[in-house]
Amino acid sequence: MLHSTLALSLLLIAVSSNLAMAINKEKRAPQTLSRGWGDEITWVQTYEEGLYQAKKSNKPLMVIHHLEDCQYCQALKKAFAESEEIQEMAQNNFIMLNLMHETTDKNLSPDGQYVPRIMFIDPSLTVRADITGRYSNRLYTYEPQDIPFLIENMKKALRLIQTEL
């Protein structure tokens, strides 16, 4: 009797342990401020915090507008996260913010509210409407194949700060 009780207990422990592991695998990792754009990057939570940090640190603020269910945003996010050069510049030289909602600052949507949209704000809190992407109908959008162009625009945002010092 003791032997069968022990065997049954071990069986229950094994089954419950496997069940617990299966449940844990189904849970998603906690959502961070990176939202998949780069987990090694330090992200600010709000536009206001980004403006404050940009001014305080004398670094440009890079604002990424996107939506979770947008296939174009997802494709750009993947390319952005895979680019070592972007990830390094973003972590070291920029204040980073990604938003899944519009801000109240209409300067961040000079040609409309669309996604994905990436804009730069310099430390003097000037929206750099002159740093645009390749497309004339959506000036601030980028596609995955535009990553080299985005890198150049990030460097341009950094150069503009140097020339204004």
Q: What is the pLDDT of residues 6-42, one digit of tens each?
A: 444 544 454 444 444 444 444 445 558 899 999 999 9
Which neighbouring-strand residues pair with 63? 97, 119
**Does 30 reside within a domain?**
no
**Does 112 reside within a domain?**
yes
**Does 10 reside within a domain?**
no
The identity of residue 44, as a single letter, is V
Q: What is the pLDDT of residues 46-100, one digit of tens each?
A: 999 999 999 999 999 999 999 999 999 999 999 999 999 999 999 999 999 999 9
The residues, any chain, with a CB within 8 Å of residue 109's CB and separated by 6 or more, are: 102, 117
**Does 88 reside within a domain?**
yes
Q: What is the pLDDT of residues 92-143, one digit of tens each?
A: 999 999 999 888 889 999 999 999 999 999 999 999 999 999 999 999 999 9
CATH number at residue 110: 3.40.30.10
- Which range of residues forms the domain containing residue 66? 47-158
- The pLDDT score that the predictor gives to residue 59 is 97
Q: In the Cβ-directed half-sphere of 16, how many Cα atoms lie within 13 Å?
A: 6
Q: Which of 83, 96, 97 is nearest to 146 (CA)?
A: 83
Contacts by 50-53 with C-beta closer than 8 Å and gap 24+? Answer: 50/95, 50/96, 50/97, 50/121, 51/121, 51/125, 53/95
**Does 101 reside within a domain?**
yes
**Does 36 reside within a domain?**
no
Integer Cα distance of 65 and 101 in angstroms: 7
The residues, any chain, with a CB within 8 Å of residue 48's CB and separated by 6 or more, are: none
**Does 91 reside within a domain?**
yes
**Does 131 reside within a domain?**
yes
What is the domain count for the chain? Answer: 1
The identity of residue 118, as a single letter, is I
